[in-house]
Structure 1
Amino acid sequence: MGVGVGVGEIHQFVVQAADAMRLNWPPSPESFQELPRPMSSIVDPAWLQRADHQGGLCPRLLFVPELSREDRPAQLRKFAGAMGFCSNLCGLLALVVAIVFGYMQTVEYPLGAVFRMMFYVQGYGKPMTEPVPADLTASPRPGSELFLPMPSGGKMPANGIGMCCRPTAYDEDSVYNSILWYLLSGGRHIDTAHIYGNHVPIGKALKEAAKRGVPRSEVFLVTKVWPAAFGYDATMAAVGRMVKQLDVDYIDLVLLHAPRKISWRMVAAYWGGLNALIGEGDEFSNHDCGDQVTCRKATWKALSELREQGIIRDAGVSNFRVPQMKELQSLGMAPIAANQIQFHPWIPDWQQEIVDFCNAQQIAITAYFSLGGLQSKDKTLQLDDVKAIGKKHSRSSGQVLLRWALAKNVSIIPGTGNPKHMKENLGIYDFSLSPEEVAKIDALRSHQIADDFFFMQF
């Protein structure tokens, strides 16, 4: 990460400034009533009732057509007070925008900074991951634990923890506590990425866990190279930074985070509910490695050499389609160890083709959004068939869906900062689904809820 104003500092500044002005945005009539007079008496109430405030950020003012000489000074003072308030508010917003824009120019991955800021704000004032008791030591690993073989001869635990996309994955104390809780609870598979910006607290938690009975050799550590760092030299440098930030001698698995550079347009299309089909003709901009195919090949060459040097144990991909995986296989370098993709019972046909190819090529699959993801999780957990299976086994709907993925020989990385939920996720080894139950969940693929999911085709 670059040097600059931190996300926390930006948010703290905004909160303090707003508190100083005694203002919540958008403003309510009550907030103006609390402001010192004379301003509160001349704000147009109709403006306050508008949801869009298209009339501008500053409140529309009430004017009196004719003023007596005696009333003019008081009304002018009211007008000046209102304009002063407006100036303070608009100036504050401009300052915040300037600070954020300046901060974005200092970070290595601006898109990652945006997501961290979003989740930081989302988690503001909410409980973070509780500290781990100083006397807590490691619990036994789950019984009947499952593993997926790696080309290096190593084994990837099939049940991991994802360190993305929630407030506790970006707050440093929560990251440290989450990883320590997870490892001491018996978990051994950690999934993160360079763009998440949480390598340092993860590394610290690994060191502390080792002191409490969890050796580094038992932990399977996964991270990813963001497309902005594609290219031979850039990838070599990026992995070097990862190793240093994590404070480890080696990384078990390094993935290419996506097959091409992710643009703001793609993010907007994804979150806007549009399936974004990104053409192969787009090139990596502002990079020396050339077009996207050349960049991917150069990056794979770097990972292959790092694998030979023992700095990484295996190399893999994420969000790759079949032609892109074949492209890397044609190089005759490191075998593709894994492909991390969105996977759950509602994947479309083209995503199932990726799964089938990986199974045929002995490429391990890791699922993200196993429960449906940020958009649909609440709906998937309420499906009658899933709840009925859970009731039969005295398990939650979430545990049923996670166990279904394991039945498909897919590893899972559910994310949570709650120690109780970590234990529940690790507890799915205590039961299994019958072939009939697996088939019943398979059949949910045709459920209308499938229309609620969005996928990016890179």
Structure 2
Amino acid sequence: MEKYTPTTLSLNSGFSMPLVGFGTYNKLQVNDQVLIDAMKTAIDVGFRHLDAAWYYNNETDVGQAIKEKIEDKTVTREELFVTSKLWSNFMAPERVEEAVRISLKDLGLTYLDLYLVHWPTPTEDCPDDRSFSSPVHDNKTDYLDTWKAMEKLVEKGLVRSIGISNFNISQVERLLNMEGLKIKPSNHQIEIHPMFNNNDLIKYSQSNGMSVTAYCPLGGMSGNSGIVNNPTLEAVGKKYGKSAAQVALRWGIQRGYAVLTKSLREERIKHNFQLWDFELSGEDMEAVSSINSDNRLVVPNMFKGHRFCPF
């Protein structure tokens, strides 16, 4: 039987996004060089989709890794698909361009392939908003006004595609029905893994022309949800000579969305990219889907009580 082999996802902006991406968020602070080396390994392995964000506080390291791999001719800028995200304290329309220019400078790039509104929840600025234990909610800014400023970034050539992250269905609908909408979101990045299949939001986003990207496809920020040693996933994996983690990632790809993997270990980085030499049968897709428990692992307590808190 012919394998399921597409490796990219078409965006409504006319560009293509690699289906398997390398995420750069780590809750624990790591040595700068550790992250740089992990990213260089990821590029060497074949990752071309790199997911960053201002909030992660490491875009200079991400940029250094990209610079070194371009200089040694492993990859060209055009071969990479680089995503970053607008954090909540930059959502006032007059600050959106400032935010993307900060990320571009830190990354050492002249444009982003995709720029996302990280959460639909504007906040006030503070000296170090990335500590974010108790942000002050901005009750004046509306994410619809933020989106109008995002559209201008495309017009100025600073970003090629724009999208959203962590919106709920009613918020997506409100955005799509916004008066004067010029550019529809190209992508919606959301939590998805076998224990939280997020079916309704996936279907709604895709049915309205948005590609979808799954963060935490192995569950949680550190992969400790029980997915990597789940007996159902392990049993499916044995059929293909693959691990439970590879099964979970492949399940996501075959559902039609991109997945973001994350690791600092060379062997794990390689492992997470070895997804193209097998295809889950319909029966095994159903088996993986059966472990869903609607267990959301990423809960934004910092936005609790915000008028735009999505869940």
Bucket of the pairwise TM-score, normalised by the shorter protein: 0.7 to 0.9
Partner residue, 1:211: 71
In structure 1, what is the Cα distance between the partners aligned to 2:78 and 2:13?
Answer: 14
Compute the displacement of 1:298 (Å): 2.1
Higher-Rg structure is 1
Contact 1:375 1:453 in 2 (8 A): no
Letter in 2 for 1:244: K
In structure 1, what is the Cα distance between the partners aligned to 2:216 and 2:78?
Answer: 28
Contact 2:111 2:159 in 1 (8 A): yes
Letter in 1 for 2:41: W
Letter in 1 for 2:145: A
Letter in 2 for 1:156: M
Q: Please, which of 44, 51, 59 is the counterpart of residue 191 of structure 1?
A: 51
TM-score (ref. length: structure 2): 0.86
| 1:409 aligns to 2:256 (yes or no) | yes
Q: Secondary structure at the match of 1:444?
A: coil
Query: CA, structure 1 residues 268+310, in 2 after alignment: closer, same or farther (shift >3 Å)?
Result: closer
In structure 2, what is the Cα distance between the partners aligned to 1:188 and 1:200?
Answer: 18
Compute the displacement of 1:178 (Å): 1.5
Compute the displacement of 1:191 (Å): 0.5
- Structure 1 regions of 5+ residues with no counterpart? 1-142, 270-282
Partner residue, 1:340: 189
Compute the displacement of 1:346 (Å): 2.2
Compute the displacement of 1:438 (Å): 0.2
Query: CA, structure 1 residues 234+268, in 2 after alignment: closer, same or farther (shift >3 Å)?
Result: closer
Compute the displacement of 1:327 (Å): 2.2
Letter in 2 for 1:187: F
Partner residue, 1:256: 117
Partner residue, 2:38: 178
- Residues 295-330 of structure 1 show CA distances to partners (whole Å, capped at 9, x for unaligned) of x12221111011011110000111001121122222
Partner residue, 1:54: none
Mapping of 1:35-74 within 5 angstroms? none
Contact 1:376 1:453 in 2 (8 A): no
Which protein, 1 or 2, shows the higher relative CO under an 8 Å CA cutoff with sep ≥ 6?
2
Letter in 1 for 2:61: P
Mapping of 1:97-136 within 5 angstroms? none
Compute the displacement of 1:335 (Å): 1.2
Letter in 1 for 2:67: K
Contact 2:27 2:221 in 1 (8 A): no
Partner residue, 1:363: 210
Letter in 1 for 2:186: A
Partner residue, 2:8: 147
Partner residue, 1:426: 273
Contact 2:190 2:214 in 1 (8 A): yes
Partner residue, 2:235: 388
**Residues matched between the structures, number:** 290
Contact 1:338 1:365 in 2 (8 A): yes
- Structure 2 regions of 5+ residues with no counterpart? 301-309
Letter in 2 for 1:209: K
Q: Secondary structure at the match of 1:254?
A: strand
Query: CA, structure 1 residues 307+374, in 2 after alignment: closer, same or farther (shift >3 Å)?
Result: closer
- Residues 274-298 of structure 1 show CA distances to partners (whole Å, capped at 9, x for unaligned) of xxxxxxxxx943xxxx534x2x122
Contact 1:355 1:365 in 2 (8 A): yes
Compute the displacement of 1:376 (Å): 6.5
Identity of aligned residues (%): 27
